[in-house]
């Protein structure tokens, strides 16, 4: 019998599900790969806003809906960070995000934003057991689902005996049993600004650049202020969060982008087990207390 975890050459398998590309590089067999990807597909069916029969789509449609235990788990974590950020991170911002079209460079009007913001507010969500009522708002968990799915898939691989690997979702990673050089990109560039050597760690980056456009000399991006519906304006290009749990790294990177450098650093510095790298639009870098900058490298642990 071929056992995962033996010293053999690592191979990489990749699969795109819904709007996310999942990649696994590990020293294991096809059964482990297939099982991990099947798990990703199962969670995408629950959390994807693009699938009409997902838990997210169904709860956004019905007044009251019974969600699965997994959906309750991720939703509870997301609501924790909504509260922790004072509402700057808000998973009910969907009515506003739907107004923005970054491909066609469409900017919503002030009246459109005002009307949409009337339907925003995570405190409207009523969750009793597994029954949820949204009270005329919609939920989107895109800012946390990739990290959540990563944690579940990596746990599966470990249970199958996989000792070393890198699990990636759109460039964000969870590394186990080995070292990995994670690159933080320059603003508006695919070239690395800094590198961090990590082991048994997750690294998730939130950046303004994946969805953005410039119009009349103004840069508009997809990280939106929950009070105004407009892009946040805090001179941050990206935030990378490091820690064991990919779920928390994923959501914290977005939370810190919304809070800004000062508040974001304060939050990370009092959150045990997590560190962060803040990159400004002028490429200046600041780091949390557990990191050190040495040339083009960031020293972690």
Look at residue 291 and tell me if it is in a domain.
yes
Report pLDDT for 4.
45
Report pLDDT for 2.
38
From 67, 81, 244, select the one nearest 150 (Cα to Cα): 244
Report pLDDT for 8.
62
Report pLDDT for 3.
41
Average pLDDT, the chain: 93
Tens-place pLDDT, residues 148-186 = 999 999 999 999 999 999 999 998 999 999 999 999 999
Q: Where are the beta strands (DSSP E) in 88-227?
A: 126-128, 131-133, 165-169, 172-185, 192-207, 212-215, 218-221
Beta carbons within 8 Å of 20's beta carbon, 6+ residues apart: 44, 146, 149, 169, 170
Tens-place pLDDT, residues 240-282 = 999 999 999 999 999 999 999 999 999 999 999 999 999 999 9
Look at residue 209 and tell me if it is in a domain.
yes
Look at residue 285 and tell me if it is in a domain.
yes
Look at residue 5 and tell me if it is in a domain.
no
Report pLDDT for 18.
81
Indicate the number of domains in the chain.
Answer: 1
Question: Which CA distances in Å does 270 have to 42, 220, 261, 263, 289?
Answer: 34, 31, 14, 11, 10
Tens-place pLDDT, residues 280-294 = 999 999 999 999 999
Report the CATH number that the domain containing residue 177 is assigned in CATH.
Answer: 3.10.520.10
pLDDT band at residue 28 under the 50/70/90 scheme: confident
Domain that holds residue 219: 170-300
Taking residues 9-23, what's their average pLDDT? 89
Look at residue 243 and tell me if it is in a domain.
yes
From 16, 212, 278, 230, select the one nearest 113 (Cα to Cα): 230
DSSP state of 258: H
Taking residues 189-202, what's their average pLDDT? 94
Look at residue 207 and tell me if it is in a domain.
yes
Q: How many CB atoms lie within 10 A of CB 220?
A: 19
pLDDT band at residue 5 under the 50/70/90 scheme: very low
Look at residue 41 and tell me if it is in a domain.
no
Tens-place pLDDT, residues 33-90 = 999 999 999 999 999 888 899 999 999 999 899 999 999 999 999 999 999 999 999 9
Look at residue 238 and tell me if it is in a domain.
yes
Instruction: Please say if the pLDDT value at position 105 is more than 70.
Output: yes
């Amino acid at each position: 019998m071929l056992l995962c975890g033996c010293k053999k050459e690592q191979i990489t398998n990749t699969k795109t599900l819904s709007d996310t590309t999942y990649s696994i590089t590990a020293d294991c067999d096809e059964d482990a790969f297939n099982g991990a990807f099947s798990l990703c597909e199962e969670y995408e069916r629950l959390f994807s806003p693009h699938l009409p029969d997902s838990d997210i789509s169904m709860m956004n449609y019905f007044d009251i809906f019974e969600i699965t235990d997994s959906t309750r788990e991720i939703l509870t974590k997301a609501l924790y960070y909504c509260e922790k950020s004072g509402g700057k991170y808000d998973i009910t911002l969907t009515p506003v995000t739907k107004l923005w079209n970054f491909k066609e460079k469409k900017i919503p009007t002030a009246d459109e934003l005002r009307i949409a913001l009337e339907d925003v507010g995570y405190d409207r969500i009523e969750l009793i057991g597994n029954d949820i009522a949204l009270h005329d708002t919609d939920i989107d968990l895109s800012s946390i689902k990739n990290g959540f799915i990563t944690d579940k898939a990596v746990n599966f691989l470990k249970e199958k005996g996989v000792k070393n690997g890198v699990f990636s979702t759109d460039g964000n990673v969870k590394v186990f049993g080995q070292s990995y050089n994670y690159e933080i990109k320059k603003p508006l560039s695919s070239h690395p600004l800094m590198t961090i050597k990590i082991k048994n760690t997750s690294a998730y980056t939130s950046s303004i650049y994946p969805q953005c456009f410039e119009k009349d000399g103004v840069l508009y991006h997809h990280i939106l202020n929950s009070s105004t519906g407009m892009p946040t304006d805090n001179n941050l290009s990206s935030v990378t969060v490091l820690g064991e749990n990919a779920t928390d790294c994923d959501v914290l990177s977005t939370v810190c982008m919304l809070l800004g450098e000062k508040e974001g650093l304060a939050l990370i510095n009092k959150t045990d087990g997590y560190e962060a790298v803040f990159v400004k639009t002028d490429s200046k870098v600041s780091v949390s207390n557990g990191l050190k900058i040495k040339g083009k490298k960031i020293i972690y642990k």
